[in-house]
A and B are shown apart, each in its own frame.
Chain A
């Protein structure tokens, strides 16, 4: 039993799952309405569904962010990229009278360009990721403003609205988008050598380069992927709210995304990553948010529990702390 416990403490995904479990248990005991599911016209509604619907944006961002962090980088610009894509898509829809293909092409295109630019700054010019993506954050936000001229754009295209608010087989459509992205990223990273390359670059870039890995290409690719995820999140966002506002779209989302990735078990120091963990992390944060709001907490105080989660996760990931903790269960040398 002690071995089981000690081993469980070391399996990384157990912790975000446990956290999620605790939240769900709490709701089971204190707020059974949380689990109430209503069916309207064949679609499911309820707090649980809201978590999935609202959490889709963070889940998408977290997927992209996971791979970037795995290469020992970070992407602070995802919120602003969301804004640019959302605003551009809304703009194109308005200007072309509803040409969805144009809007999608424009959105994806600009995301790829911005992502490639990020990757180029980090991998080719060797600017540090925090600084490079910080610059992109400012630049992209400015471009978003340029497109809208300062005024929010209304989004009425039914397809996009469906993306944000619609349902498929009863579940939110955006959840399927998340599932699709998740599947694609899992296939690309676990079924090909790409995942191995990414982890290798994050662990030790110099050694990877000497092994013959195209380290710079790998890095550029993860930033492009992250930007494409941000593109999807941006489209879901404008679909959900119906408005593309350069001032508000995606603001501070990057921090939530980074939190989700870390909670999910991927370390900021790069290397091993867990896409599933990041999804669990994102769900954990969203569930916590909704639970607390339902319990009557003022939404303005939301940053406090988020902070506590980050600290809790970091403590659990910290070897020094785990050694102290394991010491309580008996004398056992704790190894990474």
Chain B
């Protein structure tokens, strides 16, 4: 169903805006929204398990600052800094997951606290923006392109590192969700945690892993963003967790958990990116009109989802 919507939306925009449906602009879509997509992938598992993670935006910011400082000021090699950052992200997420499961604390609040904590820690690492554009590694990676067609095909489409990371992650998540016990347990927990526990599924471990994975994805998105933006900034990523949640919801996953598809989220990211691109780059609306349009489109989307039979029916308390 989401796929149908995507096709309709994409076609409409291609017809409406010149330069939209080309392979190159599609590649731009993937590149520009790769970080949102990576966040959304981690978020999907969390939401499927019936929880939510509000901290991913600030963990992303923290990662960029951490990597930037580690590489520029502390002199670490990127090959060390990046894995450490990913490990920190996963550990941070795992810590939240532990609190959520062990003490039955509400995910909304724990991850809200996590969001605050990560933001504060990001500022502790460095308050001002650190530029990475001079660093050889980042300069090289951020300008690297993977061309998808011979030079004769103009405009020549290409993908960059961020987009590749995103696509690889999507494939991995598809595998994780549908071919591993972990994925099945996540769906089971989202459906009914007590039933899952009674069935003997490893609920505790899975729940903690789900948040750890989300933290990992947030850090990964931060890494991808340093490739996109070649800078580390503590004061960024405000509201990005909501972008990720929006993409997941558009993709058809219910916020109550237990229902949804990784592929749906992927399409949700593309739809969200298309809307943002269409409204932002291609229309003549000012900043005000853009925000209003995005809000209205999101609303329409949710309404349509709610009206279709079987999809989006929220469970009564």
**Cβ A204 vs Cβ B120 within 8 A:** no
Proximity bits, B285-299, A CB within 8 Å = 1, else 0: 011111111111011
Which stretch in A91-99, A178-186, A318-326 binds the other chain?
A: A318-326
- The CA of A301 and the CA of B298, in the complex, are separated in Å by 34
A304 touching B246, Cβ below 8 Å: no
Asked if A136 contacts B103 (CB within 8 A), the reply is no
Determine if A304 and B117 form an interchain contact, defined as CB atoms under 8 angstroms apart: yes
| Inter-chain contact total with CB atoms closer than 8 Å | 140
> When the two chains form their complex, are residues B106 and A303 in contact, meaning their CB atoms are under 8 A apart?
no
Task: Note all chain B residues with C-beta closer than 8 A to A315.
Answer: 99, 103, 105
Q: Check if A310 is an interface residue, CB within 8 A of chain B.
A: yes
Q: Which of A125, A138, A142, A252 contacts B303 (CB 8 A)?
A: A125
B residues near A (Cβ < 8 Å) are: 52, 99, 102-106, 108-110, 112-117, 119-121, 123-124, 127, 234, 238, 242, 245-246, 249, 255-256, 286-296, 298-299, 302-303, 306, 314, 316-317
Could you tell me if A145 and B298 are in contact, using CB atoms closer than 8 angstroms?
no
Contact of A135 among B121, B295, B316 (CB under 8 A): B295
- 8 closest pairs, A vs B, by CB? A142-B291, A304-B120, A145-B288, A139-B295, A142-B292, A307-B116, A307-B117, A310-B113
Interface presence of A206 (CB below 8 A): yes
Q: What are 10 A-B pairs with beta-carbon distances under 8 A?
A: A126-B306, A145-B286, A146-B288, A149-B288, A258-B112, A298-B127, A303-B117, A306-B116, A307-B120, A320-B104
CA distance A314 to B102 in the complex (A): 12
Q: Which residues of A contact B120 (CB under 8 A)?
A: 300-307
CA distance A306 to B119 in the complex (A): 11
Report yes or no: A314 in contact with B113, Cβ–Cβ below 8 A: yes
- State the majority secondary structure of interface residues on A: helix
State whether A205 and B316 are in contact (beta carbons under 8 Å apart), knowing that A142-B295, A300-B127, A310-B109 are contacts in the complex: yes
When C-beta atoms are compared, the residue in chain A nearest to B107 turns out to be A268
Determine if B289 and A146 form an interchain contact, defined as CB atoms under 8 angstroms apart: yes
| Assembly CA distance A315 to B106 (angstroms) | 10
Task: Please tell me if the beta carbons of B317 and A303 are within 8 angstroms of each other in the complex.
Answer: no
CB pair B109–A262 under 8 Å, yes or no, is yes
Chain B minimum-CB-distance residue to A304: B120
